[in-house]
Amino acid sequence: ENAPDHEVLKAKLAEYAERLPTCDVVILSDYGKGGLAHIAEMIRLARAAGKPVLVDPKGEDYARYAGATLLTPNRSELRQVVGRWADDAELAAKAQKLRADLGLEALLVTRSEEGMTLFRERGAEHEPALAREVFDVSGAGDTVIATLAVMMAAGQDMAVAMRLANRAAGVVVAKLGTATCSLAELQAA
Q: Could you give the 3-state DSSP secondary structure of residue 26?
A: strand
Cα separation, 134 vs 131, whole angstroms: 6
Q: Among 5, 87, 142, 157, which one carries the catalytic annotation?
A: 142
The DSSP line for 92-123 is HHHHHHHHHHHT-SEEEEE-GGG-EEEEETTE
Beta strands in 1-132 (DSSP E): 26-29, 53-56, 70-71, 106-110, 116-120, 123-127
For the question of residue 24 being annotated catalytic, the response is: no
Instruction: Report the catalytic residues.
Output: 142
